[in-house]
Amino acid sequence: MLELSKHRPAPAYPVAVGDVHGCILSDGPLDLGLPEKAFLGETKQHMEQALTSHFLPTDRIVVEQNVLFFSLGNTNVLVETGVGSFRGFGEGAGQLVDNLRAAGIEPARIDAILCSHPHPDHVGGLCKADGQPTFPNASIYLAEHDFAYWTDEALLDSWAAAAIRVARATLLPLRERLIFIQDGEEFLPGVKAHFTPGHTAEHICFEVSSGNDSLFLLGDVAHHAVMSLESPLLNFAADLAPSTAARTRTRVFSTLADERTRVLGYHFPWPGLGHLARQGEGFRLVPDSIRW
Ligand SMILES: [Zn+2]
């Protein structure tokens, strides 16, 4: 049998939004552990049923990390950075820089990095293990309150300690290059911020538009293409304000389904592109066909 190398880079998947061109890159799989620890308030039996009906394992929740790269004229933009050197979600994550380079994109060419929120799988890749910036020429766009909260020294002893440590290690060295954005702001041409609170207080969904075309980036409003969509009221363990997160999920998914907006799910099966359709009390992902 043919032996495939375990360390081959994942390919970049091309994506276009109107005149804006880019690709989706993987940071590798993210292991969220036992289903009953990742999603709360659901019976084990019901959760197993949901996972089994989608041919998914019932002993672990493993999701993807689909990082969007695109160019706006001379500005090269990356949305999220993966886990970097953080190993709290298994050994498979942390592949973004290898995959960027394999696609011909040097980290030094990145001008702008958009972060939906300061959790390890989104900002962990901003700095290397030695504290040096991974993307030496990039400005970082995020929300001010989330920055302040997730780098707060006083929370180093809290339940969120691991995430606080990563955010402090990767954001504080880059303090001079952070740009705080507001809800509703078009902070780059055709790129708008939608504050979508619950998972964090100022979690941001980004929307990229060009001409009549647009792409809505779900970030961590949806953690799982089955559990989050089919049961939007189900609590995700890492949601900071669970009932607000559930309300946000329902509102955002409803609007996207009704307006037939194309979405990118950061944690959906690779490459994460598709549409949301209503299904019973919840929603389902209708993935795009893969076209190279
Ligand atoms: Zn995430």
Give me the pLDDT at residue 21, please: 98
Report the separation in Å between the CA atom of 83 and the middle of ligand 1, taken as the mean of its atom positions.
Answer: 10
**274: its two tokens:** 């598709």
Give me the pLDDT at residue 166, please: 97
Report the separation in Å between the CA atom of 224 and the middle of ligand 1, taken as the mean of its atom positions.
Answer: 10
In a domain, 103, yes or no: yes
Report the separation in Å between the CA atom of 117 and the middle of ligand 1, taken as the mean of its atom positions.
Answer: 8
Give me the pLDDT at residue 291, please: 86
In a domain, 132, yes or no: yes
Give me the pLDDT at residue 41, please: 81
In a domain, 60, yes or no: yes
Query: Between the CA of residue 3 and those of 6, 7, 8, 26, what are the distances in Å?
Result: 9, 12, 12, 22
Report the separation in Å between the CA atom of 143 and the middle of ligand 1, taken as the mean of its atom positions.
Answer: 16
Q: Which residues of 197-215 are buried (b: 16+ CB within 10 A; e: fewer)?
A: bbbbbbbbbbbbbbeeebb
In a domain, 277, yes or no: no
What is d(CA 26, CA 271) in angstroms, rounded to the nearest whole number?
8
pLDDT above 80 (res 200): yes
pLDDT above 70 (res 1): no
What is d(CA 205, CA 183) in angstroms, rounded to the nearest whole number?
10
In a domain, 257, yes or no: no
Indicate the range of 39-43, 58-62, 230-234, 271-275 predicted with least confidence. Answer: 39-43
Q: Which residues surround ligand 1, an ion (CB under 5 A)?
A: 121, 220
pLDDT above 90 (res 276): yes
Give mean pLDDT, residues 120-129: 97
Global pTM reads 0.96
The terminus-to-terminus CA distance of the chain in angstroms comes to 27
Please identify which residue in the block is written with the tokens 């504080």.
172
Report the separation in Å between the CA atom of 119 and the middle of ligand 1, taken as the mean of its atom positions.
Answer: 7
With a pLDDT cut of 90, the percent of the chain lying above it is 93
pLDDT above 70 (res 256): yes
CATH for 96 = 3.60.15.10
pLDDT above 90 (res 6): no
SS3 readout for the chain? CCCCCCCCCCCCEEEEECCEEEEEEECCCEECCCHHHHEECCCHHHHHHHHHHCCCCCCCCEECCEEEEEEECCEEEEECCCCCCCCCCCCCCCCHHHHHHHCCCCHHHCCEEECCCCCHHHHCCCECCCCCECCCCCEEEECHHHHHHHCCHHHCCCCCHHHHHHHHHHHHHHHHHEEECCCCCEEECCEEEEECCCCCCCCEEEEEEECCEEEEECHHHCCCCCHHHHCCCCEECCCCCHHHHHHHHHHHHHHHHHHCCCEECCCCCCCCEEEEEEECCEEEEEECCCCC
Give me the pLDDT at residue 2, please: 64
| Digit-coded pLDDT (tens) for 135-191 | 999 999 999 999 999 999 999 999 899 999 999 999 999 999 999 999 999 999 999
| Digit-coded pLDDT (tens) for 204-246 | 999 999 999 999 999 999 999 999 999 999 999 999 999 999 9
Q: Where does the pLDDT of residue 8 fall: very low under 50, low under 70, confident under 90, or very high at 90 and above?
A: confident
Domain tally, the chain: 1
Q: Measuring CA to CA, which residue among 86, 140, 88 is closest to residue 111? A: 140
Report the separation in Å between the CA atom of 44 and the middle of ligand 1, taken as the mean of its atom positions.
Answer: 23
| Digit-coded pLDDT (tens) for 10-39 | 899 999 999 999 999 999 999 999 999 999
Give mean pLDDT, residues 45-64: 94
Report the separation in Å between the CA atom of 163 and the middle of ligand 1, taken as the mean of its atom positions.
Answer: 11
Residue 96: phi, psi to the nearest 5? -60, -50
Give me the pLDDT at residue 3, please: 67
Instruction: Residue 124: give the domain boundaries.
Output: 13-209
Query: Between the CA of residue 264 and those of 28, 33, 170, what are the distances in Å?
Result: 16, 23, 25
Report the separation in Å between the CA atom of 2 and the middle of ligand 1, taken as the mean of its atom positions.
Answer: 34
What is d(CA 15, CA 4) in angstroms, rounded to the nearest whole number?
27
Report the separation in Å between the CA atom of 65 and the middle of ligand 1, taken as the mean of its atom positions.
Answer: 8
In a domain, 69, yes or no: yes
Q: Where does the pLDDT of residue 42 fall: very low under 50, low under 70, confident under 90, or very high at 90 and above?
A: confident
In a domain, 244, yes or no: no
| Contact by Cβ (8 Å): 199, 117 | yes
Give me the pLDDT at residue 28, please: 96
Report the separation in Å between the CA atom of 5 and the middle of ligand 1, taken as the mean of its atom positions.
Answer: 28
In a domain, 233, yes or no: no
